[in-house]
Amino acid sequence: MYPAIVWQDRRTADACDSLSKQPNTTQLLQDKTGLLPDPYFSATKLAWILDHVEGARADAESGKLAFGTIDSFLLWRLTGGNAHLTDATNASRTLLFNINTQTWDEDLLELFNIPANMLPTVCDSAHAFGETQPHLFGSPIPITGILGDQQAATVGQCCFKPGMIKSTYGTGCFMLLNTGEQKVTSQHRLLTTVAYRINQKTTYALEGSIFMAGATVQWLCDILGLIKDAKDTQALAEKIDHTNGVYLVPAFTGLGAPYWDPDARGALVGLTRDSRIEHIARAALEAVCYQTNDLMQAMLTDYNGTIATLRVDGGMASNDWLLQFLSDILHTPVQRPQCLESSALGAAWMAGLGVGLFKSLHDLSQHWSLKENFEPTMPASQRDDLLKGWDQAIARVVQ
């Protein structure tokens, strides 16, 4: 019917802005879904397709059109159209799923004008979803685990106890804090989401999203041409002791948590004639750490607890300089595991749990392995000065 719309797409920003201006709508969405009205989520994109693609709404209302996030699409294709299902973690990212009742919500479907019959059935994360078609891999393979990307990384990092936290650094940055069976409502515009659901028991999490992390480095490479390869940023950052006052606010597609300002735009501040490529490259890496700190401080306040360590993964987590600076800015130990592809690992582990290969989450946790631990070494006064400069840079772009 229409090509997939990626999470960075901002075409429905005006629709989300209109929703946020409706009395009590933002509170309704937060209470029911744990989310905020933002183009990042599925509902306004689905509504856009139904309203702008010829025949889409008629097909949806007549039962000819099915909707799903990428997991549902893949499951549908792998099973030859025999399974229109999803799991609770993916459903919880749509703005249509009530995370309290664990059902599609009639009020939300009415708000976004979405026909209920086009939505997939919501299952546990470890579940017998179906089997692949025999011709695809030579014989049928059971599909027994489905998780959203960052929830899968949470499982891959074995953050199974309340208070455990992980941050994934890829195109964007995504931090999840396990809050257990307690659904914590954020006062800092963080998200409340489903971490995983097993045996009809829901574990919740607080989440903060940074839209631009590795994508900022790619911007330096592909658009500006300042560096040849993303890996070069570590060497450039290590050449200098500081950015000489340069801050990069990578609000190229707005700002995510805790600001949630879709109209914010990027800024490179503090430039002088002495500013060099090294300063800009280091500022790009530092921005990831400053934004992570913004998320962690908000989470600490909302959760009303302490965080012993931060577990990290994703492509950028291979950068030693980044992780040391991150530990310094957070004033928290940062742990890098043996496997940086935690999302893939978590999905595989959930499938193993679903098929009985693993007996419990505790069983899974025995397989997590630490590779490096980064401890904070930066003086508090230096850290405070750097964060003050970041706050001033952010103030220039947030409306």
- Average confidence (pLDDT) per 10 residues, the chain, 399 residues: 89 94 95 93 97 96 96 98 98 98 98 97 98 97 97 98 95 94 92 97 94 93 92 94 96 87 92 96 97 94 90 96 98 97 97 96 95 98 98 93
Angle at which helix 320-330 crosses helix 380-395, to 10 degrees, equals 90
In degrees and rounded to multiples of 5, residue 66 shows phi and psi of -110, 145
In this predicted structure, what is the pLDDT of residue 256?
83
- Provide the pLDDT for residue 7: 83
Select from 169, 151, 148 the least CA-distant residue to 160.
Answer: 151
**13-145 against 149-399: fold identical:** yes
CATH class of 13-145: alpha beta
Sign of torsion over alpha carbons 93, 98, 103, 107: negative
Distances (CA, A) of 319 to 3, 202, 215, 232, 235: 34, 34, 15, 10, 10
> Which residues fall within 8 angstroms of residue 4, CB to CB, at 6 or more apart?
70, 73
* Rounded Cα–Cα distance for residues 51 and 80 (Å): 28
Cα–Cα distance measured from residue 332 to residue 325, given in angstroms and rounded to the nearest whole number = 11
- Torsion sign, CA atoms 291, 393, 390, 373: positive
pLDDT at 108: 98
CA distance 363 to 374: 26
H-type alpha helices, 190-305? 214-218, 232-238, 277-303
Cβ(270)–Cβ(243) under 8 Å? Answer: yes
Does an H or E element contain 117, and which?
Answer: none
What fold is seen in the domain 149-399? Nucleotidyltransferase; domain 5 (3.30.420)
Domain ranges of the chain: 13-145, 149-399
